[in-house]
Amino acid sequence: MQAVKPFPGSNKKVVRAPRWMNYIGQGFLVLLALVTLVILVRNALQQPILFLQIVQGGLQLGFVYAMIALGYTMVYGIVKLINFAHGDVFMVGAFTSYFAVANLKLHLWPALLFPNMSPGLVITIGSLTVILASMIVCVILAVTIERVAYKPLRDAPRIAALITAIGVSFFLEYFGALSFVFSARFIPYQRPFPVVTWYIQNGIHRLESGVEAPPNSITFSNIFLFIVAASIIVQIVLQYLVRRTKVGIAMRASSFDKPTARLMGINVDQVISLTFAVGAAFAGMGGVLFAIAYPSIYSQMGILPGLKAFVAAVLGGIGSIPGAFVGALIMGQAEALTMGYISMPMRDAVAFTILIIVLLVRPTGIFGEPEKEKA
Amino acid sequence: MELGFLFGSIIKISGILAYLYGLLRLMGHPNKWVKIASIVVAFAIIQAALSIQIGSFVVFNDFDRGLLFQACAMTMVVMGLNLIYGFNGQFSLGQWGFYGLGAYAAADVTYRWVNGDTRGLVVLGVGVILGGLVIWGIGSWLRRYRRMPVLSAFTLYFVGTLIAAFLAVQAGRLLNPFISAGLGTDTAPGPLNTPFVQQIIFFLAVIFAGVFAAEVSFLFGLPVLSLGSDYFGIATLGFAIVVNVLMVNSDTILPFPEMKGGRGMIGVPQLTTWFTAFLFMILIIIIMRNLIYSSTGRAIISVREDETAAKAMGINVANYKLMAFVIGSFFAGIGGAIYAHYIGFLSPGTFTFLVGFNPLIIVVFGGLGSMSGSIVASFGWIFFLEGLLRVALGQLGTEAPQWRYVLYPVTLLLLMLIRPQGLLGTTEWGFLRAPEVKVREQVEAAPATVTPSAGD
């Protein structure tokens, strides 16, 4: 009887990794965190005003990302698809508002109909109309995309849907880049309302246009307030929609278990369309707000914010709405601080590094629940 | 003129595709000498087509020549991605980043060499070899431990390669004065700056660039491959973006003034010949084929089909994922080096992540898990989209070439709706088909055929 030849190397003794090996990785992360913290704290102590100003910029960015991230997190929660076209829906939202303001003068309609209305009210109602118009266009676009491109592939392998999503995204970008659509140029955006800036220095003062803010003061504008308010309202509305209404229950049920939801009499296809619609509405709104805050738009503007919003959604725990919000705020801060203290182009690098680190430490994201075992 | 060009291009494209088909068929011949002869003949045909000129008639003009080399480079990248995604099922969007790394690394070596600086070669070469040794050493040490935390392993490898890189820079500083004496000056080139030596340096640079990309992908893939599939996709996309950002800032954040940052690296010596391009392409095809039909390849495919089942069969899933990722990136690095030395000008715009979706789309077009599909789709893509359509549409109007970017997503959508498994599905041609397993008479064993399918 011949003895069975062991595998090459199988005579080596393999032992369980000792405890201290765990600490190497953890120590590395702690070191990284400490270095970051030291840099931040040193800069914050040296120039506290500048630090606060950067944080304010980060908040503004983060709240815009939050609005885009909602669409990603909801769609991924239900159909498990990275909807690459979401960023381009966001771009279409920005362009819709541009055309509505620059060509149609939609933001002035209350003044034409009711000449006696106070100018403040005209601006408010007009701006809201512009946002609403963008949201409607985005909803129509997203539902069309869902019906035409994603729905026929619902039972196909996931890769097919993913490639389709990339295809739709490319189509929107390059179709938008044609000269008779949006053109490939950067277009200066015209805001529907004038910018009012305040500065904080022993109380809040209004900054007249064309005047430099005094040194050692934090400035903020009505755009910032507008974005923060809109983002928080959207969060509350969405929480209400998902937690309290029948539609929300249907959404959560579909994301939990589609076949069972179907058995319970839920029209899952309709719920998915609705999810796309809700996400697109917020993306449209985010597009307008992004364009108002950073007034230069072009046909590929949606890609990077879209990706970063997805990263934010993953960061917070994909499928979780408060997670998307928190993740987006972290992303905004990280980007703003990188822009302020390291260098402008490194912001993308830092965003993705944070993603990798968070996923390594906590694979489900900050708010994510541990993944269920596949039935 | 327009019709003539169209007609000629279509003939050229069909000729190239027929050429590839014939090459693969002949390479699949059981006789060893037929195989070798077919490769030599295939090389000679294109070499002749590139060099023969009868009067004003040329078979391949400069434009076609460029397309040919680009298609070779693209084939290498796409083969790598097919290994990672098609065969191993890891949704990677970072292939273009490794392509860019390879291109810049190799270009830097030869650029410095022809400009009288040998540090590029020494640092990259010593760094790559030392890095490989360090990775191998730490790897064989860590193999003694079960359930090694990924992050700790990464930290060890990372610190080790950092030390290797530091040593390589020191070696470059020490050795440079001795070697660069042989380079001579611009007016009087020394013995080390002849075209022949340049070709050798180029050859070394290509291989070092490939290994460099592979080592970077090892360091990057080790922690990232433990993430889920979609997260892995986004993380690799992030890698491609980070690499692009570093390219744009190569003269400010990174200490490489000769790369000139966002303005692009001008003056990379154009050393790629049909010989090198063909050689590396054929080598990669052969390596791929032999890998896929080996037991390693079966393990790689089993990871795609079902990770849990593969684990139950005793396959080290994490190792095979990493292996596929590293080999795929190695191919991408080589492709990048070949491309850089053909085009002679590297701009970060070539390596943005948006262009980086192209390899993925090509793989899907050709068919996930079909090597023949990858080759055909790469050649078809470059010749059709970059060659024929650009010129043909260019004659319709200045705006018209933009339309091809609108057309191809639509084609992609139609393909996904009609034939989601890609053009060739899992069909393989000739050489790339699974070799027939000789079954011994006594043992009634089922033939070990591998049926790759487009799983998720």
DSSP state at residue A147: I
Task: Work out the minimum CA distance from A346 to partner chain B, whole angstroms.
Answer: 7
Confidence bin at B231 (pLDDT 50/70/90): confident
What average pLDDT does this structure show over B434-443?
70
Q: Which of A360-369, B124-133, B277-286, B340-349 bottoms out in mean pLDDT, i.e. has the lowest?
A: A360-369
Instruction: Report the complex ipTM.
Output: 0.86
- Which domain does A188 fall in, by range? 77-300
Q: Do B252 and A27 touch (CB under 8 A)?
A: no
Distance from C-alpha of B294 to C-alpha of A226, rounded to nearest angstrom: 61
Residue B288 lies in a domain: yes
- Which domain does B302 fall in, by range? 62-116+184-432
| Spatial CA neighbour of B231 closest among A368, A335, A254 | A368
Query: Percent of chain B, pLDDT > 70?
Result: 94
Distance from C-alpha of A344 to C-alpha of A262, rounded to nearest angstrom: 49
Q: Do B456 and A159 touch (CB under 8 A)?
A: yes
Distance from C-alpha of A160 to C-alpha of B416, rounded to nearest angstrom: 6
Distance from C-alpha of B110 to C-alpha of B337, rounded to nearest angstrom: 10
Per DSSP, which regions of chain A are E strands? 15-16, 187-188, 197-200, 204-207, 218-221, 296-297
Distance from C-alpha of B420 to C-alpha of A343, rounded to nearest angstrom: 43
Mean pLDDT of chain B: 86
Task: Work out the minimum CA distance from B361 to partner chain A, whole angstroms.
Answer: 8
Q: Are B288 and B79 in contact (CB under 8 A)?
A: yes
Interface mutation vs chain A, best among B152, B219, B355, most A CBs within 10 Å: B152
> Does B321 have pLDDT greater than 90?
yes
Residue A183 lies in a domain: yes
Residue B442 lies in a domain: no
From A12, A352, A360, residue closest to B238, measured CB to CB = A352
Q: Residues in chain A with pLDDT < 70?
A: 1-12, 369-375
Interface mutation vs chain A, best among B84, B237, B406, B408, most A CBs within 10 Å: B406
From A157, A164, A310, residue closest to B455, measured CB to CB = A157
| Spatial CA neighbour of A320 closest among A83, A62, A69 | A69
Chain center to CA of B120: 21
> Does B376 have pLDDT greater than 60?
yes
Q: Give the tens place of pLDDT for each residue, A312-332.
A: 998 888 888 889 999 999 999
Number of folded domains in chain A?
Answer: 1
Q: B151 CB near a chain A CB, below 8 Å?
A: yes
Residue B165 lies in a domain: no
In whole angstroms, how far apart are CA B248 and each of B22, B245, B251, B350? 42, 5, 8, 11
From A25, A166, A348, residue closest to B245, measured CB to CB = A348
Write the Ramachandran bin of B169: left for phi over 0, alpha for psi from -120 to 50, otherwise beta: alpha
Element (H, E) at B305: helix B295-305
From B156, B231, B354, residue closest to A314, measured CB to CB = B231
Closest-CA residue of chain A to B238: A352
pLDDT score of A105? 85
Q: Are B111 and B257 in contact (CB under 8 A)?
A: no
Residue A335 lies in a domain: no
pLDDT score of B52? 80
Q: Helix %, strand %, coil % for chain B, to 5?
A: 75, 5, 25
Q: Which residues of A touch B409 (CB under 8 A)?
A: 167-171, 174
Q: Environment class of residue A140 by beta-carbon count within 10 Å: exposed (0-12), middle (13-18) or buried (19+)?
A: middle
If DSSP codes are grouped into helix, strand and coil, which group holds residue A187? strand
Distance from C-alpha of B115 to C-alpha of A31, rounded to nearest angstrom: 41
DSSP B81-115: HIIIIIIT------HHHHHHHHHHHHHHHHHHHHT
Q: B241 CB near a chain A CB, below 8 Å?
A: yes
From A12, A23, A169, residue closest to B144, measured CB to CB = A12
Q: Do B152 and A22 touch (CB under 8 A)?
A: yes
Q: Give the tens place of pLDDT for each residue, B185-229.
A: 666 677 777 888 889 999 999 999 999 999 999 999 998 888 777
Task: Tokens for B156, please give them.
Answer: 């060890």
Task: Work out the minimum CA distance from A282 to partner chain B, whole angstroms.
Answer: 22
pLDDT score of A10? 54
pLDDT score of A7? 54
If DSSP codes are grouped into helix, strand and coil, which group holds residue A351? helix
pLDDT score of B452? 56
Q: Do A303 and B360 touch (CB under 8 A)?
A: no
pLDDT score of B456? 47
Confidence bin at B148 (pLDDT 50/70/90): confident
Distance from C-alpha of A96 to C-alpha of A133, rounded to nearest angstrom: 8
Scan residues 303-362 of B and list those with Cβ closer than 8 Å to A: 354, 357, 360-361
pLDDT score of A4? 53
From B223, B233, B402, residue closest to A356, measured CB to CB = B223
Chain center to CA of A127: 22
Interface mutation vs chain B, best among A179, A360, A374, most B CBs within 10 Å: A360
Distance from C-alpha of B119 to C-alpha of B105, rounded to nearest angstrom: 12
| Spatial CA neighbour of B11 closest among B387, B432, B266 | B387
Scan residues 266-285 of B and list those with Cβ closer than 8 Å to A: none
Element (H, E) at B71: helix B62-81
Q: Which of A206-210, B166-170, B173-177 bottoms out in mean pLDDT, i.e. has the lowest?
A: A206-210
Residue A321 lies in a domain: no
Residue B83 lies in a domain: yes
Q: Are B258 and B108 in contact (CB under 8 A)?
A: yes
Confidence bin at B448 (pLDDT 50/70/90): low
Q: Do A25 and B149 touch (CB under 8 A)?
A: yes
Residue B397 lies in a domain: yes
Number of folded domains in chain B?
Answer: 1
> Does B38 have pLDDT greater than 70?
yes
Residue B25 lies in a domain: no
pLDDT score of B367? 87
In whole angstroms, how far apart are CA B215 and each of B85, B106, B123, B134? 19, 15, 15, 11
Closest-CA residue of chain B to A161: B416
Interface mutation vs chain B, best among A170, A183, A374, most B CBs within 10 Å: A170
Residue A29 lies in a domain: no
pLDDT score of A137? 95
Q: Give the tens place of pLDDT for each residue, B242-270.
A: 899 889 888 888 888 888 888 888 888 88
Interface mutation vs chain A, best among B84, B90, B147, B151, most A CBs within 10 Å: B151
Q: Are A176 and A290 in contact (CB under 8 A)?
A: no
Q: Which residues of B touch A158 (CB under 8 A)?
A: 456
Q: Do A14 and B144 touch (CB under 8 A)?
A: yes
Q: At what angle do helices B357-366 and A158-176 cross, to 10 degrees?
A: 130
From A169, A170, A360, residue closest to B223, measured CB to CB = A360
> Does B402 have pLDDT greater than 80?
no
Q: Are B456 and A158 in contact (CB under 8 A)?
A: yes
If DSSP codes are grouped into helix, strand and coil, which group holds residue A309? helix
Q: B36 CB near a chain A CB, below 8 Å?
A: no
**Half-sphere exposure in the Cβ direction for B265 (13 Å, CA):** 31
From A24, A82, A159, residue closest to B156, measured CB to CB = A24
Distance from C-alpha of A139 to C-alpha of A156, rounded to nearest angstrom: 25
> Does B53 have pLDDT greater than 50?
yes
Task: Work out the minimum CA distance from B2 to partner chain A, whole angstroms.
Answer: 24
Residue A281 lies in a domain: yes
Q: Are B336 and B106 in contact (CB under 8 A)?
A: yes
Q: B154 CB near a chain A CB, below 8 Å?
A: yes
Most confidently modeled range among B195-199, B310-314, B323-327: B323-327
Q: Do A163 and B361 touch (CB under 8 A)?
A: yes
